[in-house]
Amino acid sequence: MHAIVTILQFLILISVIVTIHELGHFSVARLFKTKIERFSVGFGHKLLARTDKNGVEWCLSAIPLGGYVKFAGDEHVSSMSPDAKELDAARTAIVAKEGEGAEKAYFHFKPVWQRMLIVAAGPFANFVLAIVLFAGVLMFIGKGQTPASVVSVEPNSPAAAAGFKPGDLITEIDGRDVENHQDALTLIMMRADSTIDITVLRDGASVVLKATPARKEREVGSGGHRIKAGRLGIEMGGDMRWQRFAPHTALVEGAKMTWQVLDTNVTYIGRIFAGKENGDQLSGIIGMTKATGDITSETMKVKAPLEERLLLVALNMITMAAVISVGIGFLNLLPVPVLDGGHLLFYTYEAVMQKPLNSAIQGYGYRLGLVTLLGLMLFATWNDLNHTGVVKFFGGLFS
């Protein structure tokens, strides 16, 4: 029963996030009066369908792990841009059927800058969703913050070697502002084996220390999952300050939190390409589903009335949805063909060269992008199976 609830929770979560992403594409396309054939939540067989007055077919499909907007005349599943020859043929066919000028309503005949905005609107909608979700939590619930104040320093630790002292207040790590101990903890964990500048406030003066967090194993989350991450060897603490925010300041703070999540994603991916991380923290559908279930299980164990526990579950799901939304927005901006970032890359070429990229080259690019994306999904799934102990279990059967 727990597994079914967990899967349903995740499917609802991911469906909402992807729907908002697709609505980003849809809304900007409609702003530019682009002809749209279908808006689908999910893939595969259509379960429900309704056509509105604008001729858009709204669908709920059988596989609830995504969605799409299909523009009229877009015959490529990957929305690959037609080359000049294909565009001429398409223009002739549309004019013959609908009359002169009708092609201007079709996506591929829109100015390249409009197509770029339509494509970028999906990831942008994900970031806006995250800001709104974070802001909502900050307005109605608030946020507890413990200062990044050093309480103690472990002997023979990287912190001791760097010169940390009890009473130091960490204000900046590797060029990033630190507002609380969670900021400091996240930044340190993401910089294992890298020498970084850490600014502390000591006796009223700013002091810059150089430290190299050691890569140590630690437990994260509630499922007993252990990772190797940066550790300095300091204990931070202080009086927690709980704060609720007015709407305008909540939006500003929500934008900051969204940026922090995005910065963490970018930093981690950058460290993978730099050879400083092995990518074992990349997670896929299995990992996200498990995390959803773990959060719910741990929250329901809290000793509180049922309605309070359900409220905590809802708040945790909202926060998790914001984090996943940022991740989906970031992923889609990667310059990989089949993703929004790949389309933007091709449209940039078109804007510079004043003609679409040859369809054969686009085809090779999309096939390479598909292989890359599938490889990334398989790698993330392998990580998830490792983290859940499945690989270890089956390995034990044959050892």
Largest distance between two CA atoms of the chain: 81
Q: With b meaning 16 or more CB within 10 Å and e meaning fewer, what string describes 88-100?
A: eebbeebeeeeee
Q: Where are the alpha helices (DSSP H) in 163-284?
A: 181-189, 247-273
Q: Which residues have CB under 8 Å from 202's CB, separation 6+?
A: 165, 167, 168, 169
The structure tokens listed for 201 are: 């406030």
**What radius of gyration, in Å, describes the C-alpha atoms of the chain?**
25
Contact 232, 188 (CB under 8 A): yes
Q: In this structure, how many other beta carbons lie within 10 angstroms of the beta carbon of residue 13?
A: 19
Gap between the Cα atoms of 219 and 341, Å rounded:
34
Locate 298 and state its tokens.
């741990």
Per-residue tokens: 268: 């981690």
| Rounded Cα gap, residues 339 and 335, in angstroms | 7
Q: Which helix (H) or strand (E) holds 219?
A: strand 214-220
- Active site amino acids: 22
For the beta carbon of residue 52, count every other beta carbon within 10 angstroms: 10
Would you call 136 helix, strand, or coil by DSSP?
Answer: helix
Residue 258 · residue 216 · CB < 8 Å: no
Count CA atoms closer than 13 A to 357's CA, side-chain side.
19
CA 376 to chain centre: 15
How long a stretch of residues is the chain? 399
Q: DSSP 3-state helix, strand, coil percentages of the chain (rounded to 5)?
A: 55, 20, 25
Question: Which residue matches tokens 């929305």?
Answer: 79
Q: Phi and psi at residue 380, in whole multiples of 5°?
A: -65, -40
116-125 b/e with 16+ CB inside 10 Å = b?
Answer: bbbbbbbbbb
